Amino acid sequence: SPQPSDSLQGITSQTQSLSGAVMSSKGWYKEVIQILHAKFGLNSFRPNQAEAINETLSGQDVVVLMPTGGGKSLCYQLPALVKSGTTKGTTIVISPLISLMEDQVYHLKNLNIKAEMVNSKLDADTRSEVISTLVKGELELVYISPEMLSISRVMQMALQTMYDKHILARIVIDEAHCVSAWGHDFRPDYMALTKVKNDYPGIPIMALTATANNQVLLDIVNCARPNPLVLKQSFNRTNLLYEVRKKGPKVVNEIAEICLNYGGKSGIIYCRSKKDCETTAEKLRSHGVSAEHYHAGLDSETRSKVQKNWQESRTHVVCATIAFGMGIDKPDVRYVIHMSMPQNMEGYYQETGRAGRDGRMSKVYLFYKFGEYLNIRRMILEEQEVQRDIREHKASLLLKVMQYCENTVDCRRKQVLQYFNETFDSRLCEMKCDNCVAMRGQTVVCQDVTELAKDVVRILESIGMDRVTDQQCIDILSGRMTTRTRESNYNKLKLFGCLSSYGLTFVERLVHDLLSQDVLEDYTKRNSRFAQTYIRQGKKASNLMHDKMRIKMNFPKSNETRKASNGRKSKEYSTAKRFRN
């Protein structure tokens, strides 16, 4: 079997879109358009849908990265109905959540599409009934939970029979980021999916996800055969307004005010604990907000009821843990509030992504205080059942969220997209985030930081051949003692802590700025278990060192009109002050 690829080189280069015209030359073009109109009632394709459909109908593997609400389902639901492609039979969809499957199968049946599901919630009789229809080739689509695929002998035999009878059309891995331990939503059962490509040779694979930084993407790509077509589009959600607010003792009152301002419009409030969900919902009701709570501790009947009430706009607000919402398709969610900081940027992106799926302006709020960061971090590091490297990895993901909250200078959108390795020109934000608004009219001081940037390059030089992540590099520059720093003796380096007086937030901005200017570059490698992204000197590093380029960054001139998001003295301000002298 082919070796997993250990780098993304040559893969990301294929991400440019094919033109829609490519499909019109194919034999299935007419049928595809007919199904789009007549079955799904849609006028046209959204970006990359036609490309994905075309590729899978040609029998090729394809990886689809599309923001939440972008229209991933159509990429596999439509080809499942096409008779004139090179593939025949039933489309198998692996999907991580039962509620998500139920949603989709219900929707498909309404469109008179022959769809069923197989999961642990079905009783044994219904399950074997579905499996026997499946094996007879009578279904167009079947949704299967990952554990059915990995543990059920009956299911495995059914698929083998279908394979032998040539009625296995394609295998779809939805929410494919679940295969990656680097993703925010890792499912051990999804690990089995990395080998379906070997179990069913020649059957096209389609993997879809809304969230993938390069580490996660590498794990997803390994589910497909070498060099799949990777379709990637910008993750910028232009219709979302971003805001981070200081979290004070009256946070629930503040949230109630927000909800009341939205009147009867729909919103989600993400809370950290089950208890928080309950008390917040109750308090909101006392303010006259129509709110219910939702978390994994409720029985499934109550959960479906809460979800349905909200989906059909009978209740306006759900106070929920992150268990709520994956794959739920409510187009008119006008706001999403994080009452506590999320644990990582991927989760944040996914959860905020549930707002504004209909494309209309919607707003996302995050309430943050530094003390809460420390609490959550401690809880992560103390999780006994979790292996040490995973715990530390989770803590480093949380650190990124803290830095995002603390960074009151750079465009929020730019920061979020940076996490997905996407460069974004903050002018395109058009004042749709708190930082862009706050920095408007504010005199921004443009400072030359070339000499500091050189220290970053020098640090990488002195580290030599060791692999370092951007975070480790930031730690070394700002003199933070971590396990890695100690183990690798980085604290003995001459330049260790050379930028410590500028603050962690500034150092992070600087390193990310250098990455976006090719002074540094990132690369992804597969270790013994996972893929990891590291940084090294980039193409422009020698230009910088030879004074052929200057690095400039913006700082706010004063903090009079701007308070730090956590109420402490803003680091940007102190940095700017240093630079003014």
Binding residues vs Mg ion (CB under 5 A): 72
Min dist CB 553 to Zn ion, Å, is: 16
Report residue 395 as tokens. Answer: 């803590």
Give the separation between CA 72 and CA 206, rounded to whole angstroms.
11
Nearer to Zn ion, 84 or 423 (CB): 423
Residue 572 in contact with residue 563, Cβ under 8 Å? no
**Which residues are CB-neighbours of 211 under 8 A, at least 6 positions away?**
177, 183, 184, 346, 349, 350, 420
Residue 256 in contact with residue 337, Cβ under 8 Å? no
Neighbours of 452 (CB within 10 A): 20
**Which residues are CB-neighbours of 489 under 8 A, at least 6 positions away?**
none
Min dist CB 115 to ligand ADP, Å, is: 14
Choosing among Mg ion, ligand ADP, Zn ion, none, which partner's interface includes residue 433 (Cβ < 5 to 8 Å by kind)? Zn ion
Nearer to Mg ion, 72 or 357 (CB): 72
Nearer to Mg ion, 7 or 311 (CB): 311
Nearer to Zn ion, 118 or 411 (CB): 411
Min dist CB 463 to ligand ADP, Å, is: 40
Nearer to ligand ADP, 99 or 575 (CB): 99
Give the separation between CA 234 and CA 429, rounded to whole angstroms.
13
Strand 520-526 vs strand 531-537: parallel, antiparallel, or unpaired? antiparallel
**Which residues are CB-neighbours of 158 under 8 A, at least 6 positions away?**
131, 134, 135
Min dist CB 327 to Mg ion, Å, is: 5
Nearer to ligand ADP, 144 or 519 (CB): 144
Nearer to ligand ADP, 74 or 545 (CB): 74
Nearer to ligand ADP, 20 or 71 (CB): 71
Min dist CB 230 to ligand ADP, Å, is: 16
Site string for Zn ion, 103-132 (x = CB under 5 A): ------------------------------
Nearer to ligand ADP, 57 or 258 (CB): 57
Min dist CB 357 to ligand ADP, Å, is: 6
Choosing among ligand ADP, Zn ion, Mg ion, none, which partner's interface includes residue 520 (Cβ < 5 to 8 Å by kind)? none
Give the separation between CA 240 and CA 333, rounded to whole angstroms.
11
Give the separation between CA 558 and CA 284, rounded to whole angstroms.
37
Among 72-80, 349-357, 409-417, 487-495, which window interacts with Zn ion (CB under 5 A)? 409-417
Rg of the chain, C-alpha, whole Å: 25
Nearer to Zn ion, 293 or 400 (CB): 400
Q: Which of 134, 171, 176, 411 binds Zn ion (CB under 5 A)?
A: 411
Give the separation between CA 246 and CA 238, rounded to whole angstroms.
24
Interacting residues toward ligand ADP by CB under 6 A: 42, 45-46, 49, 66, 68-74, 210, 329, 331, 357
SS (H, E, C) 184-232: CCCCHHHHHHHHHHHHCCCCCEEEEECCCCHHHHHHHHCCCCCCCEEEE
Strand 444-448 vs strand 552-556: parallel, antiparallel, or unpaired? antiparallel
Min dist CB 73 to ligand ADP, Å, is: 3
Residue found under tokens 């410590």: 500
Min dist CB 71 to ligand ADP, Å, is: 3
Nearer to ligand ADP, 46 or 562 (CB): 46
Per CB under 5 A, contacts with Zn ion among 167-186 are none
Min dist CB 237 to ligand ADP, Å, is: 12
The answer to whether the Cα torsion of 237, 243, 249, 250 is positive or negative is: negative
Give the separation between CA 7 and CA 67, rounded to whole angstroms.
23
Min dist CB 495 to ligand ADP, Å, is: 45
Q: Which of 433, 457, 477, 511 binds Zn ion (CB under 5 A)?
A: 433
Please identify the residue of the shown chain whose CB is closest to the bound Mg ion: 72
Q: Which residues of 309-341 are buried (b: 16+ CB within 10 A; e: fewer)?
A: ebbeeebbbbbbbbbbbbbbebeebbbbbbbbb
Q: Which of 97, 171, 317, 429 binds Zn ion (CB under 5 A)?
A: 429
Give the separation between CA 423 and CA 474, rounded to whole angstroms.
19
Question: Which phi and psi angles does 521 have, rounded to 5°?
Answer: -140, 155
Nearer to ligand ADP, 70 or 96 (CB): 70
Compute CA distances 119 → 1, 98, 438, whole Å.
30, 7, 50
At position 116, the amino acid (one-letter code) is E
Choosing among ligand ADP, Zn ion, Mg ion, none, which partner's interface includes residue 429 (Cβ < 5 to 8 Å by kind)? Zn ion
Choosing among ligand ADP, Mg ion, Zn ion, none, which partner's interface includes residue 411 (Cβ < 5 to 8 Å by kind)? Zn ion
Please identify the residue of the shown chain whose CB is closest to the bound ligand ADP: 71
**Which residues are CB-neighbours of 277 under 8 A, at least 6 positions away?**
271, 293, 294, 295, 319, 320, 321
Q: Which of 63, 436, 468, 476 binds Zn ion (CB under 5 A)?
A: 436
Min dist CB 352 to ligand ADP, Å, is: 13
Min dist CB 555 to Zn ion, Å, is: 16
Choosing among ligand ADP, Zn ion, Mg ion, none, which partner's interface includes residue 20 (Cβ < 5 to 8 Å by kind)? none
Site residues for Zn ion per CB under 5 A:
411, 413, 429, 433, 436
